[in-house]
A and B are shown apart, each in its own frame.
Chain A
Amino acid sequence: MSTPNYTHRITVQASTEHLSEVRDFVASYATKHGVSSHEVEDIRLAVDEAYTNIIKHAYQYDDSRFVEIVMGSEKDEFWVSLKDNGKSFNPTEYPDPDVEERIKKKERGGVGVYLMKKLMDRIEYHKHDGTNEIRMIKKL
Protein backbone atom coordinates (compact mmCIF):
# COMPACT_ATOMS: atom_id res chain seq x y z
CA MET A 1 0.00 0.00 0.00
CA SER A 2 2.58 2.60 1.06
CA THR A 3 5.87 3.13 2.81
CA PRO A 4 5.34 2.53 6.54
CA ASN A 5 5.70 5.58 8.80
CA TYR A 6 6.08 7.94 5.84
CA THR A 7 4.40 11.23 6.61
CA HIS A 8 3.60 14.38 4.72
CA ARG A 9 2.82 17.80 6.19
CA ILE A 10 1.73 21.32 5.33
CA THR A 11 1.11 24.39 7.44
CA VAL A 12 -1.63 26.76 6.32
CA GLN A 13 -3.22 29.93 7.61
CA ALA A 14 -6.52 29.37 9.39
CA SER A 15 -8.83 30.85 6.78
CA THR A 16 -11.77 29.51 4.80
CA GLU A 17 -9.93 30.90 1.74
CA HIS A 18 -7.60 27.91 2.03
CA LEU A 19 -10.35 25.28 2.37
CA SER A 20 -10.21 23.99 -1.18
CA GLU A 21 -6.39 24.01 -1.20
CA VAL A 22 -6.38 21.92 2.02
CA ARG A 23 -8.99 19.49 0.68
CA ASP A 24 -7.16 19.03 -2.62
CA PHE A 25 -3.80 18.59 -0.91
CA VAL A 26 -5.10 15.83 1.36
CA ALA A 27 -7.07 14.16 -1.44
CA SER A 28 -4.07 14.15 -3.77
CA TYR A 29 -1.81 12.59 -1.13
CA ALA A 30 -4.42 9.96 -0.23
CA THR A 31 -4.95 9.08 -3.90
CA LYS A 32 -1.19 8.70 -4.46
CA HIS A 33 -1.09 6.29 -1.53
CA GLY A 34 -3.67 3.95 -2.97
CA VAL A 35 -6.78 5.10 -1.10
CA SER A 36 -9.91 4.35 -3.17
CA SER A 37 -11.76 7.28 -4.74
CA HIS A 38 -14.82 6.70 -2.53
CA GLU A 39 -12.68 6.79 0.61
CA VAL A 40 -10.77 9.83 -0.66
CA GLU A 41 -14.10 11.70 -0.85
CA ASP A 42 -14.88 10.73 2.78
CA ILE A 43 -11.43 11.94 3.91
CA ARG A 44 -11.77 15.15 1.87
CA LEU A 45 -15.05 16.04 3.60
CA ALA A 46 -13.87 15.01 7.10
CA VAL A 47 -10.76 17.23 6.74
CA ASP A 48 -12.91 20.12 5.48
CA GLU A 49 -15.11 19.84 8.58
CA ALA A 50 -12.16 19.51 11.01
CA TYR A 51 -10.31 22.47 9.48
CA THR A 52 -13.50 24.60 9.49
CA ASN A 53 -14.03 23.77 13.18
CA ILE A 54 -10.50 24.96 14.01
CA ILE A 55 -11.12 28.24 12.15
CA LYS A 56 -14.44 28.76 13.96
CA HIS A 57 -13.89 27.33 17.44
CA ALA A 58 -10.14 27.12 18.16
CA TYR A 59 -9.13 30.42 16.51
CA GLN A 60 -12.52 32.16 16.32
CA TYR A 61 -11.84 33.43 12.77
CA ASP A 62 -8.39 34.89 13.58
CA ASP A 63 -6.69 34.26 10.22
CA SER A 64 -3.24 35.23 11.52
CA ARG A 65 -3.07 31.78 13.19
CA PHE A 66 -1.91 28.55 11.58
CA VAL A 67 -3.00 24.93 11.24
CA GLU A 68 -0.53 22.12 10.67
CA ILE A 69 -1.79 19.14 8.71
CA VAL A 70 0.11 15.87 8.86
CA MET A 71 -0.79 12.73 6.95
CA GLY A 72 0.54 9.24 6.76
CA SER A 73 -0.37 5.69 5.96
CA GLU A 74 0.74 2.56 7.72
CA LYS A 75 -0.21 -1.05 7.03
CA ASP A 76 -3.97 -0.90 6.51
CA GLU A 77 -4.63 2.61 7.80
CA PHE A 78 -4.57 6.13 6.43
CA TRP A 79 -4.46 8.90 9.02
CA VAL A 80 -4.59 12.67 8.97
CA SER A 81 -3.89 14.99 11.89
CA LEU A 82 -4.82 18.65 12.22
CA LYS A 83 -2.92 20.62 14.85
CA ASP A 84 -3.66 24.07 16.26
CA ASN A 85 -2.67 26.20 19.24
CA GLY A 86 -6.08 27.73 19.89
CA LYS A 87 -8.95 27.10 22.25
CA SER A 88 -9.42 23.41 23.07
CA PHE A 89 -12.19 21.68 21.22
CA ASN A 90 -12.56 17.95 21.71
CA PRO A 91 -14.83 16.55 19.00
CA THR A 92 -14.82 13.08 20.56
CA GLU A 93 -16.81 14.48 23.51
CA TYR A 94 -19.30 16.26 21.27
CA PRO A 95 -22.74 14.58 21.35
CA ASP A 96 -24.30 13.34 18.11
CA PRO A 97 -27.01 15.75 16.97
CA ASP A 98 -30.62 14.77 16.42
CA VAL A 99 -30.87 16.32 12.97
CA GLU A 100 -34.67 16.31 12.76
CA GLU A 101 -34.93 17.88 16.20
CA ARG A 102 -32.42 20.56 15.17
CA ILE A 103 -34.52 21.42 12.14
CA LYS A 104 -37.65 21.73 14.28
CA LYS A 105 -35.84 24.01 16.72
CA LYS A 106 -34.06 25.82 13.85
CA GLU A 107 -30.67 25.14 15.37
CA ARG A 108 -27.62 25.19 13.16
CA GLY A 109 -24.28 23.45 13.50
CA GLY A 110 -23.14 20.27 15.20
CA VAL A 111 -23.48 18.27 12.00
CA GLY A 112 -19.80 18.72 11.04
CA VAL A 113 -18.42 16.73 13.98
CA TYR A 114 -21.06 14.07 13.43
CA LEU A 115 -19.97 13.78 9.79
CA MET A 116 -16.29 13.49 10.78
CA LYS A 117 -17.16 10.57 13.06
CA LYS A 118 -19.35 8.88 10.46
CA LEU A 119 -16.98 9.32 7.51
CA MET A 120 -13.83 8.14 9.32
CA ASP A 121 -13.29 4.93 11.27
CA ARG A 122 -11.79 6.56 14.34
CA ILE A 123 -11.33 10.09 15.69
CA GLU A 124 -8.79 10.85 18.44
CA TYR A 125 -8.14 14.07 20.30
CA HIS A 126 -4.80 14.77 21.96
CA LYS A 127 -3.55 17.85 23.75
CA HIS A 128 0.14 18.39 24.46
CA ASP A 129 1.97 21.59 25.45
CA GLY A 130 -0.87 23.85 24.28
CA THR A 131 -1.26 22.08 20.94
CA ASN A 132 -4.58 20.46 20.07
CA GLU A 133 -4.40 17.53 17.72
CA ILE A 134 -7.36 15.92 15.99
CA ARG A 135 -6.32 12.65 14.41
CA MET A 136 -8.70 10.96 12.01
CA ILE A 137 -8.10 7.41 10.91
CA LYS A 138 -9.52 5.53 7.94
CA LYS A 139 -9.05 1.78 7.64
CA LEU A 140 -8.08 0.69 4.16
Chain B
Amino acid sequence: MSFKVSERYNCVIIEFKGNVMGGPDAVELNDTLHELIEEGKKNVVVDLAKVKFMNSSGLGMLIGGLTTMRKAGGDLRIANPTDKIESLLVVTKLITVFKHYESLEEAVNSYNKEEGEEEEND
Protein backbone atom coordinates (compact mmCIF):
# COMPACT_ATOMS: atom_id res chain seq x y z
CA MET B 1 0.00 0.00 0.00
CA SER B 2 1.07 3.59 -0.47
CA PHE B 3 -0.52 6.75 0.84
CA LYS B 4 -0.44 10.38 -0.16
CA VAL B 5 -1.05 13.24 2.24
CA SER B 6 -2.53 16.55 1.10
CA GLU B 7 -4.47 19.40 2.65
CA ARG B 8 -7.74 20.98 1.70
CA TYR B 9 -9.36 23.84 3.63
CA ASN B 10 -9.26 22.82 7.26
CA CYS B 11 -8.55 19.13 6.89
CA VAL B 12 -5.90 16.66 5.86
CA ILE B 13 -6.65 14.09 3.17
CA ILE B 14 -4.82 10.79 3.24
CA GLU B 15 -5.30 8.88 0.00
CA PHE B 16 -4.73 5.13 0.31
CA LYS B 17 -3.73 3.17 -2.77
CA GLY B 18 -3.35 -0.58 -3.38
CA ASN B 19 -3.68 -3.38 -0.82
CA VAL B 20 -4.46 -2.19 2.72
CA MET B 21 -3.21 -4.96 4.99
CA GLY B 22 -1.72 -3.32 8.09
CA GLY B 23 1.80 -4.48 9.03
CA PRO B 24 4.53 -1.87 8.34
CA ASP B 25 1.93 0.44 6.75
CA ALA B 26 0.16 0.69 10.13
CA VAL B 27 3.38 1.99 11.74
CA GLU B 28 3.88 4.53 8.95
CA LEU B 29 0.28 5.74 9.18
CA ASN B 30 0.53 6.02 12.95
CA ASP B 31 3.73 8.12 12.65
CA THR B 32 2.07 10.39 10.07
CA LEU B 33 -1.00 10.91 12.27
CA HIS B 34 1.14 11.78 15.27
CA GLU B 35 3.10 14.32 13.20
CA LEU B 36 -0.20 15.88 12.10
CA ILE B 37 -1.44 16.06 15.70
CA GLU B 38 1.80 17.80 16.73
CA GLU B 39 1.19 20.36 13.98
CA GLY B 40 -2.33 20.88 15.32
CA LYS B 41 -3.99 19.20 12.31
CA LYS B 42 -6.63 16.94 13.72
CA ASN B 43 -9.28 16.66 11.01
CA VAL B 44 -8.41 13.72 8.79
CA VAL B 45 -10.22 12.22 5.81
CA VAL B 46 -9.04 8.86 4.48
CA ASP B 47 -9.85 8.51 0.78
CA LEU B 48 -10.37 4.85 -0.09
CA ALA B 49 -11.27 5.21 -3.79
CA LYS B 50 -8.02 3.62 -5.00
CA VAL B 51 -7.97 0.70 -2.56
CA LYS B 52 -7.88 -2.64 -4.36
CA PHE B 53 -8.08 -4.94 -1.35
CA MET B 54 -8.48 -4.63 2.42
CA ASN B 55 -8.32 -7.37 5.06
CA SER B 56 -8.91 -7.43 8.83
CA SER B 57 -5.39 -6.08 9.51
CA GLY B 58 -6.17 -3.14 7.20
CA LEU B 59 -9.39 -2.53 9.12
CA GLY B 60 -7.37 -2.72 12.34
CA MET B 61 -5.09 -0.03 10.97
CA LEU B 62 -8.07 2.26 10.26
CA ILE B 63 -9.45 1.63 13.76
CA GLY B 64 -6.03 2.46 15.24
CA GLY B 65 -6.00 5.71 13.25
CA LEU B 66 -9.52 6.57 14.38
CA THR B 67 -8.73 6.10 18.08
CA THR B 68 -5.49 8.11 17.74
CA MET B 69 -7.31 11.06 16.15
CA ARG B 70 -10.34 10.98 18.50
CA LYS B 71 -8.05 10.80 21.54
CA ALA B 72 -6.33 13.96 20.26
CA GLY B 73 -9.71 15.69 19.96
CA GLY B 74 -10.00 15.21 16.20
CA ASP B 75 -11.52 12.60 13.93
CA LEU B 76 -10.71 10.25 11.05
CA ARG B 77 -13.49 10.06 8.47
CA ILE B 78 -13.80 7.81 5.46
CA ALA B 79 -14.50 8.93 1.91
CA ASN B 80 -15.21 6.94 -1.25
CA PRO B 81 -15.41 3.42 0.17
CA THR B 82 -15.78 0.94 -2.70
CA ASP B 83 -18.77 -1.43 -2.54
CA LYS B 84 -16.45 -4.17 -1.30
CA ILE B 85 -15.09 -2.04 1.54
CA GLU B 86 -18.53 -0.74 2.46
CA SER B 87 -19.83 -4.31 2.81
CA LEU B 88 -16.76 -5.13 4.92
CA LEU B 89 -17.61 -2.21 7.20
CA VAL B 90 -21.22 -3.39 7.42
CA VAL B 91 -20.29 -7.02 8.20
CA THR B 92 -17.91 -5.95 10.98
CA LYS B 93 -20.40 -3.28 12.21
CA LEU B 94 -17.65 -0.68 11.84
CA ILE B 95 -20.01 1.32 9.65
CA THR B 96 -21.50 2.64 12.90
CA VAL B 97 -18.08 3.61 14.25
CA PHE B 98 -16.67 5.60 11.33
CA LYS B 99 -18.27 8.70 9.85
CA HIS B 100 -18.26 7.82 6.16
CA TYR B 101 -19.10 9.75 3.01
CA GLU B 102 -19.67 8.84 -0.61
CA SER B 103 -17.38 11.56 -1.92
CA LEU B 104 -14.29 13.43 -0.84
CA GLU B 105 -16.20 16.72 -1.08
CA GLU B 106 -18.85 15.52 1.37
CA ALA B 107 -16.21 14.32 3.83
CA VAL B 108 -14.29 17.62 3.66
CA ASN B 109 -17.53 19.60 3.97
CA SER B 110 -18.55 17.63 7.05
CA TYR B 111 -15.69 19.32 8.95
CA ASN B 112 -16.46 22.76 7.48
CA LYS B 113 -20.09 22.43 8.49
CA GLU B 114 -19.15 21.55 12.07
CA GLU B 115 -16.77 24.52 12.30
CA GLY B 116 -19.52 26.79 11.01
CA GLU B 117 -21.91 25.47 13.65
CA GLU B 118 -19.32 26.00 16.36
CA GLU B 119 -18.80 29.61 15.27
CA GLU B 120 -22.56 30.20 15.30
CA ASN B 121 -22.69 28.89 18.85
CA ASP B 122 -19.85 31.17 20.04
Is the C-beta of A106 less than 8 angstroms from some C-beta in chain B?
yes
Tell me whether B55 is interfacial, beta carbon within 8 Å: yes
Which of A92-115 touch B at CB < 8 Å? 99-100, 103, 106, 108-109, 111-112, 114-115
Interface check B59, CB cutoff 8 A: yes
Residue of B nearest to A109 (CB): B60
Listed stretches A15-23, A68-76, A80-88, A126-134; interface member: A15-23
Interface size class of A (residues with CB under 8 A): 20 to 34
Which A residues are CB-close (under 8 A) to B55? Answer: 45, 48-49, 52, 112, 115
Residue of A nearest to B22 (CB): A108
Contact of B92 among A19, A23, A106, A115 (CB under 8 A): A115
Contact of B84 among A41, A100, A114 (CB under 8 A): A41
Size of the chain B interface, CB-CB below 8 angstroms: 21
Interface string of B31-72 (1 = CB under 8 A from A): 000000000000000000000010111011001101100000
A119 within 8 A of B: yes
Q: Contact between A118 and B67 (Cβ–Cβ < 8 Å)? A: no
Nearest B residue to A23 by beta-carbon distance? B53
| Interface flags, A112-125, vs B, CB<8A=1, else 0 | 10110011000000
Q: How far is the CA of A108 from the CA of B56 in the complex (A)?
A: 10
- Among A109, A111, A114, chain B packs the most CB atoms within 10 A around the CB of A111
Task: State which residues 77-100 of B face A: CB under 8 Å.
Answer: 84, 88, 91-94, 96-97
Residues of A within 8 A of B91 (CB): 115, 118-119
Chain B residues with Cβ under 8 A from A23's Cβ?
53
Q: How far is the CA of A115 from the CA of B54 in the complex (A)?
A: 12
**Are B56 and A112 within 8 A (Cβ)?**
yes
A16 touches B84 (CB 8 A): no
Instruction: Enumerate the 10 nearest inter-chain pairs by beta-carbon distance, A residue then B residue, closest first.
Output: A112-B56, A111-B56, A118-B91, A48-B55, A99-B93, A108-B60, A99-B92, A115-B56, A41-B84, A103-B63
